[in-house]
A and B are shown apart, each in its own frame.
Chain A
Amino acid sequence: MSLQSSISHYSDQIKQAVIDKQLLQIAGNQSKVPIYEDAQILSIADHTGIVSYDPAELVVTVKAGTRLADLSAALAENNQMLGFEPPEYGDSTIGGTYACALTGPSRPFRGGLRDFVLGTQLIDGQGREMRFGGKMLKNVAGYDVSRMLCGSKGSLALVTELSFKVLPLQEEKTYCIPMPEGEAILLMNKMQGTSLPLTGCAYFEGRFYYRVAGEHPAQDNRVEVSICTNDIWKTLNPFQPQLAPDEKLWRLDVESTNPSIENTIAVGMGGTRRWVASKNKPNHPYVTLWQSRFAPRNNDKPCVQRIKKGLKEVFDPHHIFKDL
């Protein structure tokens, strides 16, 4: 199917759903979509491939159903990579990753997924094809809809194409030091204030890990420091720990200097992410239940709820896509 014909095929499906009043569940490779009995799956998993990629522009444009692994491999051939280090759950799509705003350990240093999004092509809830943003590193014409939709989880529009800024692949080394959690949190914050070219800081199972890119001074300023493999970043991203039967995994977003939180099993992203294993929801403003079917946080203040509802009406006035 040509690019244009497959796009209009999606748009026809959406227009038909409006007529039939049929709820649509947008899905990539369905690693995580909640199943609604009354919803029909609108899968974009077949819409794959790189639309354009010129390494010298530092920009790639890709269809939303493309697997992360395929995209990363194509970039690696040109010594480039996605700067936001998305978690790879097996066959995650780039569209699903974008819709869930998923980002890896380099976030505090290079930025999160939304920081690399330059433009999107999408189909709204009326079946209208549109484009926002562009394929350039700089564009401030109109509201930044492409970034706004990061994290929209298929609730406002079907994203069919995405443009990202890409970065050169860099050689990275990981070091680790055994120490207690509280000390590690303090140290990782202190280190992030120095000119050491860090790209990762985490705490896991009694050790502080940090990753450094490119040329940097020898890390022999502490006796306990040792070099380890880069595998730890894969262990933490995606983080899929073994839990006791009655425990749940919670993802907390906090300030980097937040002191240790009870039941934390890993600290990631330079201290800004804490993974907590516990039966009950930790008492904290930014907590997400991290399970095989994702649960929305839903703790917005009324004025933010009003804005989100309003935006839903703008993009999806017939409520064809499931709610956020």
Chain B
Amino acid sequence: MSTQQSTDVLDRLAGIAAGSSLDALRHERPETRRNVQASYEALFDAKDETGVSPAERFAVASFVALLHGDGTSAQHYLQHLEQAEGDRLSTLVREQAKRAAARGPYGTYPPGPLSREDTDGPVLAIGIADRAKLGERLTTALEHAHRLVFHPRDAKAPDFAALQAAGWSTAAIVTLSQIVAFLSFQIRAAHGLRVLGA
């Protein structure tokens, strides 16, 4: 492993060099810095205990980063995905992300005064041929990730049926949701810090 590059993933994604003013800012909040890194490690470095394989974790993370159009983050996770699984899956994930591009947040509110703010947008439904290539587990995970990335307010209890039918346990769904949600944080923190440091 390179000793030149920071081992802090958010630093790497935000392009923060040791000794820079952003580096100093992040060290003003050491608890945040430490626990954001520990969150990354809990999801992507630790031994799997909830039944979500490293390939699944990196595939979902790559998809989320690609949906955000964040090249730096996408590159990071795609590289890990390729190391874990080769190129086949990363190619499929890239294709799906290209097809699934949208602008969020959109979605529907419970009927009432907020209904006037309801905004339409695509719901990802991966076609039969691609489902076969990705497998049902990863297909349902990407569909879930797409909803959480772009239109989280549309999530409904029956959404879990597809995940459960594809073999996702409650613990695995929690991990999957944390991966999408954590990426939603990490991408924004990296983007914001990049802009602040520019």
Specify whether A and B are partners.
no
- Seen from chain B, the residues whose Cβ lies within 8 Å of a Cβ on chain A are none
Interface residues of A (CB under 8 A from B): none
